[in-house]
Amino acid sequence: MLVINGKEVPFEKEKSLYEILVENFFDPSFVAVEVNEKLVKREDFRDFLVKDQYKIEVFSFVGGG
């Protein structure tokens, strides 16, 4: 089980953070992500492996004025 933005999400196998984001309808190009309270750089999303029980916070950027 993963926790993404406070919601429990089923977890089957180790995947990259990039894959987890896409599967959960986030655009990896437009988000900032913390995993277990540590910021993960966007260029590391494809190499960062997510494991069971990880807590992921996804921050989307919204423009406007």
Task: Quick: pLDDT tens for 17-31.
Answer: 999 999 999 999 999
Angle subtended at Cα 17 by Cα 15 and Cα 37, rounded to the nearest 5 degrees: 120
| pLDDT tens digits, one per residue of 48-65 | 999 999 999 999 877 766
Please return the burial class of 3, using the count of CB atoms within 10 Å of its CB with bins 0-12, 13-18 and 19+: middle
The pLDDT value recorded for residue 65 is 63
Structure tokens at 56: 């992921």
